[in-house]
Amino acid sequence: MFRWTGLAVALFLAPQANAADAPLVWRHAIIEAKSDAGIFMMVTQGFAEKQGLKLEISQVKSDAIGLKALIAGELDSYDGIVGGTVLAAAHGADVKLIGCHWPGLPHGIFSKASIASVKDLKGKTIAISTPSSLPEIIAREALAKYGVPADEVKFANMGGDLDRFKALVAGIADASVVSGEYEPIAEKEGLKLLVAGRDVLPNYMRLCYFSTARALSARREAAIRFMMAEMTALHYALSHREETLKLTREITGIKPDDPRPAYIFDDALRTHAVDPDLNIPADKAQWMADQLIEDGKLAKHYDVHQMIDASIRADALKRLGK
């Protein structure tokens, strides 16, 4: 896994930690960096250090891998989706939802231009990620909405967004669930956005922060500082477009003429997809949990409040004077 350390940049927005204090360490993971990396990774630009925190960030290929690493104690938190964590929590796993930074859904189903509608996916191959991951959920919900039985398509696990998009371009898949960032380059590849995820799942949240009761109890101070760092970093990223896009290119190696970083940044801003205050929409989380019952993945009702710990966020806001 790749790791970055924070760059020493003088920033503002948050109280300065006592320089005499040894920095606390917090291990966090994001799903592999792509065209929105500058928003996710702005926290590495001095914001963690401002809080006296040594933030170790790893990349994971999928949400499922991040969840396994969290439960195994290899991480203190990770960016993940509600679906997989609800399944884990409902089966007794130690998982806690502590804030949601990207409740909007930028993903969609892209397909060959010849496919006119979701109904035309019968008998076709759809590139997704691991079971219970966001791509699979979007695909299944779209099929259900348009009356296509899931057993009449073939689901193929083809890795991350870039892998799935390449599989679609190469003709290995007929459709693929990827981030909306690929929309500005899809047409030149003979592809199109077949259906936007937000149109299929208006209550679906893309990403939240998850930790464990064990980590939050043993390392509460580090957890609060992590949330403070993320809040201030997200506010900064959303108000500094060019700096954020520059960071995205530095992290991913995306070329300056590639339209994807600017597209996904502007789309997130326009749709209010990112919440820098890390609110926890419990109603949407519960809706997502209830969908698991309808999909046959969860046997009975699970109250998501059992896995929510709002106290870390509350303490972070209080210290930031909000």
- Whether residues 307 and 162 share a domain: the answer is no
The one-letter code for the residue type at 301 is H
Q: What percent of the chain clears pLDDT 90, i.e. is strictly above it? A: 77
Q: What pLDDT is attached to residue 3?
A: 40
The verdict on 121 and 184 lying in the same domain is yes
**49 plus 139 within the same structural domain:** no
DSSP per residue, 217-264: HHTHHHHHHHHHHHHHHHHHHHH-HHHHHHHHHHHH---TT-SHHHHH
Average pLDDT over residues 143-150: 94
- Of residues 126 and 131, more confidence is placed in 126
Domain tally, the chain: 2
Q: Is the pLDDT of residue 195 over 90?
A: yes
Q: Tell me which of 200, 235, 270 is where a domain ends.
A: 200
Task: Say what the alpha-carbon torsion angle 8, 12, 17, 18 is, to the nearest 10 degrees.
Answer: 80
Sign of CA dihedral 296, 301, 306, 310: positive
Residue 18 has pLDDT above 90, yes or no: no
**Domain end point (choices 180, 200, 220):** 200
- pLDDT tens-digit profile of 60-78? 988 889 999 999 999 999 9
**How high is the pLDDT of residue 289?**
93
Instruction: Flag whether pLDDT at 99 surpasses 50.
Output: yes
87 and 215 inside one domain: yes
pLDDT interval class at 2 (50, 70, 90)? very low
- What are the CB-based long-range contacts (under 8 Å, 24+) for 54-57? 54/5, 54/6, 54/23, 54/24, 54/25, 54/26, 55/6, 55/25, 55/26, 55/28, 55/226, 55/229, 56/3, 56/5, 56/25, 56/26, 56/27, 56/28, 57/3, 57/4, 57/28, 57/29, 57/30
What does the pLDDT read at residue 132?
A: 73
Query: Could you give the dihedral angle defined by the CA atoms of residues 250, 159, 227 and 269, in that order, rounded to the nearest 10 degrees?
Result: 70
Q: Is residue 17 over pLDDT 60? A: no
Measure the N-to-C terminal CA separation of the chain; round to a whole number of Å: 35
Co-location of 250 and 160 in the same domain: no
CA 281 → CA 7, 95, 207, 229, 305, distances in Å?
32, 17, 12, 21, 11
Looking at residue 254, its pLDDT comes to 94
The residue range of the domain holding 152 is 107-200
Residue in 136, 130, 118 with CA at minimum distance from that of residue 177: 136
What one-letter code names the amino acid at 314? A
User: Where a domain ends, among 149, 180, 200?
Assistant: 200
Q: Are residues 291 and 303 in the same domain?
A: yes
pTM to 2 decimal places: 0.81
* Rg over CA atoms, the chain: 19
Task: Give me the percent of the chain exceeding a pLDDT of 70.
Answer: 93
Share the mean pLDDT of the chain: 90
Between 18 and 223, the more confident residue is: 223
Is a pLDDT exceeding 50 seen at residue 48?
yes
Averaged pLDDT for residues 206-232:
97
Cβ-count burial 131-147 (b if 16+ within 10 Å, e if not): ebbbbbbbbbbbbbeee
Does 99 share its domain with 210?
yes
Q: Does residue 261 carry a pLDDT above 90?
A: yes
Kindly indicate the confidence band of residue 5, based on its pLDDT and cuts at 50, 70 and 90: very low
Q: Predicted confidence band at 184 (pLDDT cuts at 50, 70, 90)?
A: very high
Average pLDDT over residues 219-230: 98
* Most confidently predicted of 59-73, 180-194, 224-238: 224-238
The CATH number of whichever domain residue 253 belongs to comes to 3.40.190.10
Both 55 and 140 in a single domain?
A: no
pLDDT for position 201:
86
